[in-house]
Structure 1
Amino acid sequence: MSNRTINFLRIAMVILMLLSMGLLIWQHFGMSRVLRIDTQTPYQITALDDRSQGGASVAKFARNQGALQLQCDLQKNQYEWPFCEMSIALSNTAQGVDLSKFDRVVFDMDLRGPEFKKVRVYLRNFEADISKLDDPLSSKVNELEFAPPKGEAFSVPLKYFRVASWWVDDRDVPIFSSDMRLDNVTQIEIATPGKVQTGLHQIEMRALEFHGKWLSLTQVLTLIVAAWLIFCFVWLFMELLAYRERDQTKRARMHELETINRVLEIQAEVLSNKIQLDPLTGALNREGLRDFLLQQWQGEMPMSAGMSVLFADLDHFKRVNDHYGHAVGDTVLRQFAQLVLSEIRSSDALVRWGGEEFLVVCPNTDLAQAAKLAEKLRASVANAAWPDSMTVTCSCGVAMRAQGEEFSSLIERADAALYRAKDNGRNRVELG
């Protein structure tokens, strides 16, 4: 695995850690949602009492002084369980409000009346298998009876609501449908408790708020665990790819060395010469190039070893030999070789490839650096003083080794760039 990939994964891990902590903190201190019911609520609110069941209690509802008020004249007659209630219709259809996404309800209310200390709250949940639109009492009754503190809000976790046993018995509900559910609440009822004295009572509710989180702690933890699992799988996959690449690199090393040898054996007449230097110019010959490459990587050239090569050719050199003679031509070749050697690094190699063609091998050099060197050599040749005041120029082709590219292919690309330089007018640099 490359250092770049490792650094990327490390940065991703740090970001994932920060996101995980941030999400947990946000879930704990924020991410809140609230459903509020007060005097501004758009829901329909009505007063109900026991007169429909033969009782004598009278309930009246009003919105007064920033509060929802239920006035109840509670009376007893032959009806055993007198009551008054405030009914808040969240929906008039089978589609109610999902309160299961909230975890607590806050009551801001006051109770007035003789020994009026408790209030009963019903959350009616519409469930298709047991509820009917034409029968309001068929919606499941989740009830809670409590004594709210006077003059202050009171918060109750929704988990304390229970399905009313009297409703289960009255409706003959199957056991598998008798669980507490708040996922489709169509009606909220605030009522007098089961035991309360007769007389005038008042329920004044300033607000009713349901509080919850947009994402529960379980959902947040699940999201975090899923993100870390994905990250671990990605890391493992990258490690497997790196292992496979290392294995392929090891297998390719011997093939790379064999390829170098095959390329350098193309010219049989040069290989027969066992000396490493060209006797005329002092540059390396092809045998010397092979040893240079083997020594550069201590016998092994990695698949990822970077290098660039420059193919340089003296323009119209045949005219120099024809006009001034081969002796002067040899002087020009020697001067050219010395000029190039003075411009390149000690880690680079100058190779006489044949005739007036020279190859410069630059390890650990990218294409831009090689092109800059080639342009520098071209300018130096054009501006140098040559024998008999002649004008000498050169053309260059430059190529950079791609990942895993064979050396022969690299030379071919540089050679092709050199020919483009010649075709485009000579005394120029072309990239391959």
Structure 2
Amino acid sequence: MRRPTVLFILAALLLGQVVSLARAAEVFGSYEFQRTWERTDLPVAQGVVARTWMWGPNPITPRLAEAYAEAQDGGRYVQYFDKTRMELNEREPYDSPWRVTNGLLAKELVTGKRQLGDQLFRDYGPAQINVAGDQDDPNAPTYATFTALLTAPALPVGQTITATLDRQGHVGNDPSLARYGVTAAILVSETGHTVASPFWAFMQSSGIIAEYGAFKEGPLFPNPFYATGFPITEAYWTTVRVGGVPKQVLVQVFERRVLTYTPDNPPGWQVEAGNVGQHYYRWRYELAPDVGSRANPIPLGQSALVYGNWEIRVVDVIPNATDLVLRENRFNTPPKPGYQFFIATVEATYHGQGSARFDGTYRLRAVGPANVSYSTFEDDCGVIPNEISDTEVFTGGTIRGNVCWQVRSSDAAALLMYDRESPSDRYVPTYFRLAR
């Protein structure tokens, strides 16, 4: 967990000094992301205050588009930081604190259920990633450790917290931990869990913030649950390695964050936000990539809902359809040297309101290991058998037919089909495997 090393510049608070940017503005995916980061973390970056990063020293990814059913064009802009992910909610007013939110990442990591819409979830399994401390610590609790504790009863308010937890999820009790004076501070009715007293004090705290180009004193958060969400577990003491050194740490999982309390840390760093952003990005993009992503395409024969409320399925493929296409029409020309014709039989069912045309000969494209996109108009095959039609269909109607691309022969064995209907870069295309 990184900490600033420069001395406090308390004069900045007293004088209302104009602050400079901690880093080049272009690393932030939007002005709103930068403004949100600056409020709590610019004072930390410049050494004006000693406290945990709420986001991190800088973004760890560029701005990304991630699929979300209710968002414009089926996707929203996000950016990852050490501690969490920022999400741009463009339907919120510019001056609303909810225009930029951080997702329910910790909840998704614990439950394994990734949220792809207000009511759309997909199960990827709880994350086997350490919630705190060194990631190679074999004894630290993981997010999966907390899965069985989501329904554990709440500790009575005011009771001292001495419960312990190990990696396997065994809950014990160590009365000697009462020496730290940590109690259950408040019961949150929405989730039926209490918040540990150090965390509750932090969630309500004020301190030096950056607003409109100046340092000032103010609340860290618009409301106590803005950054963390509600608690989804009780707080437990555990032992984790930090920089190779075992430490006793109190851990509590909230919907959006994991908070830790390390009594022997310096003041300002006793309560810290875990690196949930790092952990979630690893889980989502490396360990359990989205079904329908290029890293984890929809298997042949399975269907997926794509832009425009169309459910599509690749029924069959003919990887080398060159002879078939040339026989279909005597005016068809052979593919270029090193290329071949590739046919996919596609089925599309409309689930939207009214009627629509699928336009499969335009929107369906392909890509292979060469990382070059193939379209049916720039890489066409000529006249093909049973070409998918552009017939108007109504709710529940299905069309079926072939699409064909002229592809590199070296790409054919690992070719993927993807849907690229919307020109917006916020729309996340769905990928389909074209290998049996």
The two structures have a TM-score, normalised by structure 2, of 0.16
Structure in which a larger fraction of residues adopt helix: 1
The two structures have a TM-score, normalised by structure 1, of 0.17
Larger radius of gyration: 1
